[in-house]
Structure 1
């Protein structure tokens, strides 16, 4: 007797593996992240709306060409920011695409509109995690990028030093910032930079970085950071120029003033986006070439342009990231 082969086929589809249940901690973190984004957007929008009445009259009196070009220079400077992060992360052994660094840098920067520097750091770290960078490396990159930004701003800020020396007591109180330049330049040496970063990580009970920073990459990141402040200086000069001060030395002054103002705003971390500290420096510098009233108005107009640029660039970065995900271009898996 022959045994016929079993020709029946198993038509049952494989049962998909059940997704692991989300822990309470994961749910809380997810909702906290959403709440943080909402708070960040609300803070940025409030900053924009609250200044409108004070700025609108001066803004309407400015030539539209100057307004467009000035805003464009802010946008260019903002979009150079992710380049600094990309270079630093690559030097840390965590290369990312520009679009990914733009997402977690530009969107994360909206956290500065909430008082307390920690919000921008936390938001950037969470977004960097989605882009395949673990929190330790993103924290380290943020620390180094911030330090590079301060050094770059002080290098550009040297242009405003004569105005600070000739100004009143409030202006001269900023002179101590340049002491940071001497220290900062020394710590840009790869050995000292690696040692100082590892010291901070050790203090925070984090693992040290696996590789030493390289001099070429540090200089490239510093150059990109200086370019940011030069763009911001041109932005302010275009506004000043539109009101009748078109001298070349005014351009140098504006570059230095914007650089110092950004550092002053960064140090005033308890204020949303350094509100007030930045305007004080800009007003003091611009008031040397324009009437005080116009200087105050331009400082507020500059703040408005930065807020618009921050919101617009963050939205564009998030939109491009979403479009790439829809096309199946996913970031590398996140590290543990």
Structure 2
């Protein structure tokens, strides 16, 4: 029986490696496919314009990582920032493959390799999606009335807000606790030593909202680099709401790699009346490429930091029932 187990383990190991390679190649292709329009637009931008915009992205990505990790730590022993970032950031590169489910599967497998029960990562990821949707809808409410009023093609976005009351109810700690207990019972996992706390859920939601704030700041700084648009706080709020709606809309078009096309349509529609359609299209492409680069850099840094932590401090304590032979 041992050789069969070893063979299965090796197959799983190589499947993980192939999946990571595939998602990195897909992310690289997304970067290369937009290089011409990006080069033209970057020629109009000085480094003083695009560099601050780019620097806002790692902050946004790390805030979304923290939002996820708060929920993971709530379902078991804390795993540490380095290990959590490695699981989340490397795993989320799966979104660049057609079908967003790859990102979640990769996160589950990376968590399993780190000694975390699949039920724990799956549950935390599911709840983090609910948090992300609620946060995006809250931030998106800054621009949704204008979208509905001025753009007939975007009026269907109002249906997204049917999810808001459902999401808010699902984020109540008592509801979360019952769902977690049921899920762990079905999957035959030991229950946690404390219930889901309101503080953790509130912090996770606040981190997600702040993440969209920095994504919006990224877009606002890009726009200011190519246009004399008003740099007031009101236009910054428009950019925050636009990025929130654009990114969460891409989530529902899960067959497209990282919501390709959907996000750009919303950004262009929001910016075109202010800066013109041509520049809006170019900035949407530049924004996507900068986000791809930021995803790759933060994932690479997280992978390196996780490797360093494991080498110097050893593996994190495994969840109950998860053995070294299984990861």
TM-score (norm 2): 0.91
User: Which residue does the alignment assign to 1:166?
Assistant: 149
User: Which residue does the alignment assign to 2:23?
Assistant: 40
* 2:41 corresponds to which of 58, 64, 71: 58
Does 1:150 find its partner at 2:133? yes
Distance 1:196 1:180 in 2: 18
What is the count of residue pairs matched by the alignment? 315
Distance 2:178 2:263 in 1: 32
Report the CA distance between 1:51 and its aligned residue.
0.8
User: Which residue does the alignment assign to 1:187?
Assistant: 170
Report the CA distance between 1:195 and its aligned residue.
3.1
* 2:244 corresponds to which of 248, 259, 277: 259
Report the CA distance between 1:95 and its aligned residue.
1.2
Distance 1:305 1:186 in 2: 35
* 1:113 corresponds to which of 91, 96, 102: 96
User: Which residue does the alignment assign to 2:117?
Assistant: 134
Does 1:233 find its partner at 2:230? no
Distance 1:328 1:192 in 2: 37
TM-score (norm 1): 0.89
User: Which residue does the alignment assign to 1:244?
Assistant: 228
User: Greater share of helix residues, 1 or 2?
Assistant: 2
Distance 2:273 2:317 in 1: 51
User: Which residue does the alignment assign to 1:8?
Assistant: none
User: Which residue does the alignment assign to 1:88?
Assistant: 71
* 1:206 corresponds to which of 182, 187, 210: 187
Distance 1:163 1:198 in 2: 42
Distance 2:180 2:150 in 1: 36
Distance 1:29 1:55 in 2: 38
User: Which residue does the alignment assign to 1:302?
Assistant: 287
Does 1:315 find its partner at 2:300? yes
Does 1:49 find its partner at 2:28? no
User: Which residue does the alignment assign to 2:10?
Assistant: 27
Pairing 1:273-312 to 2, within 5 Å after superposition: 273-312=258-297
In structure 2, runs of 5+ residues without a counterpart are 323-327
Report the CA distance between 1:231 and its aligned residue.
0.5
* 1:333 corresponds to which of 311, 318, 325: 318
Checking the alignment, whether the CA contact within 8 Å between 1:129 and 1:334 is kept in structure 2 is no
> CA deviation digits over 1:206-248, x for unaligned, max 9?
2475453211111011011111000001010111122221232
Distance 1:149 1:66 in 2: 28
Checking the alignment, whether the CA contact within 8 Å between 1:163 and 1:285 is kept in structure 2 is no
Report the CA distance between 1:113 and its aligned residue.
0.4
Report the CA distance between 1:198 and its aligned residue.
5.1
Does 1:72 find its partner at 2:55? yes
Report the CA distance between 1:31 and its aligned residue.
1.2
Checking the alignment, whether the CA contact within 8 Å between 1:268 and 1:274 is kept in structure 2 is yes
- The secondary structure found in structure 1 opposite 2:273 is coil
- The secondary structure found in structure 2 opposite 1:115 is coil
Higher RCO by CA contacts (8 Å cutoff, separation 6 or greater): 2
Report the CA distance between 1:201 and its aligned residue.
6.4
